């Protein structure tokens, strides 16, 4: 196994614990999200400077998150737009290409404008591709893929036999991006919460009790070190590898 096999080319993160971090300090939940942006910056640039990591996928806002109090949702959307404006120059300097994954139908025109802007401006960046999952859930993504394949079949463009795992992957938002090697979840829960259910079939999982606003570059390195010690078999036995 070469040295680069030990570095996950694609890392995905469920950034959990912002609310509890704020609560533990007697702060408002939105202050936890604000603090989470600093952790996010640390991790993005740490990943961009790591020669082995090429993709970073972040669970920013799930389709279920619309059910949170109105002020928290508005504040998260505002924080997203503000962060896009504030971070654009640094993302360009560090050569981070931003791609937004999820259903844009449910987003406000202002949010869509900001997303379009960051995707357009960073389209040619080459150090790291960062996928931001916004208004995303894996089940909605898979339902959308099934509908798209069914429409092609109904139009006579696709036979049932042509519906292969590759054909399904081609209809996902993440089309063309390799599956995550490592999924990190902060905040102590040990579940996937409707995140990358198809793409994560063989991902290594790494959980930490640390709340997202306390997650540092060193914690990111600790997750990469844990990954390097894992033995991946992809359903085969050792001799076949």
Q: Report, in Å, the least distance between residue 64 CB and ligand FPP.
A: 10
CB 201 within 8 A of CB 218: no
Helix boundaries (H) for 94-212: 109-122, 138-154, 165-169
Nearer CB in complex with ligand FPP: 44/145: 44
- Which residue in 11, 13, 36, 54 binds ligand FPP (CB under 6 A)? 36
Q: What is the SS3 assignment for 182?
A: strand
Catalytic residue among 65, 179, 194, 214: 65
The footprint of ligand FPP on residues 119-178 (CB under 6 A) is 132
For residue 69, which of 31, 110, 22, 30 has the smallest C-alpha distance? 30
Q: Report, in Å, the least distance between residue 183 CB and ligand FPP.
A: 15
CB 79 within 8 A of CB 33: yes
Q: Please tell me whether residue 65 binds ligand FPP under the rule CB under 6 A.
A: yes
Rounded distance between C-alpha atoms, residue 202 and residue 178, angstroms: 12
Q: Please tell me whether residue 187 binds ligand FPP under the rule CB under 6 A.
A: yes
Q: Report, in Å, the least distance between residue 74 CB and ligand FPP.
A: 13
**CA 173 from centroid of its chain's CA atoms:** 12
Binding mask 73-92 for ligand FPP (x = CB under 6 A): ------xx--x---------
Q: What angle do CA 6, 10, 15 make, to 5 degrees?
A: 115
Binding region for ligand FPP (CB under 6 A): 15-20, 33, 36-37, 40, 60, 65, 79-80, 83, 132, 187, 212
List the catalytic residues: 16, 65
């Amino acid at each position: 196994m070469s040295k680069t096999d030990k570095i996950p080319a694609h890392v995905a993160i469920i950034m959990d614990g912002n609310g509890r971090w704020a609560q533990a300090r007697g702060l408002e939940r939105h202050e936890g999200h604000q603090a989470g942006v600093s952790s996010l910056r640390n991790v993005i640039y740490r990943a961009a400077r790591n020669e082995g990591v090429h993709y970073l996928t972040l669970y920013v806002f799930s389709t279920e998150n619309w059910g949170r109090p109105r002020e928290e949702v508005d504040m998260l959307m505002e924080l997203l737009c503000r962060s896009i404006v504030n971070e654009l120059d640094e993302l360009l300097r560090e050569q981070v290409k931003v791609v937004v994954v999820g259903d844009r139908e449910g987003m406000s025109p202002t949010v869509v404008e900001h997303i379009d802007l960051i995707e357009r401006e960073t389209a040619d960046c080459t150090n790291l591709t960062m996928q931001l999952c916004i208004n995303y859930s894996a089940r909605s993504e898979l339902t959308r893929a099934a509908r798209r394949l069914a429409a092609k079949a109904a139009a006579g463009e696709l036979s049932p036999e042509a519906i292969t795992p590759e054909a399904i992957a081609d209809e996902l938002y993440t089309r063309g991006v390799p599956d995550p090697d490592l999924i990190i979840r902060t905040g102590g829960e040990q579940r996937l919460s409707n995140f990358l259910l198809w793409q994560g079939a063989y991902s290594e999982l790494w959980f930490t009790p640390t709340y997202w606003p306390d997650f540092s570059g060193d914690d990111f390195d600790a997750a990469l070190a844990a990954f390097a010690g894992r033995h991946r078999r992809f359903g085969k036995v050792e001799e076949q590898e």
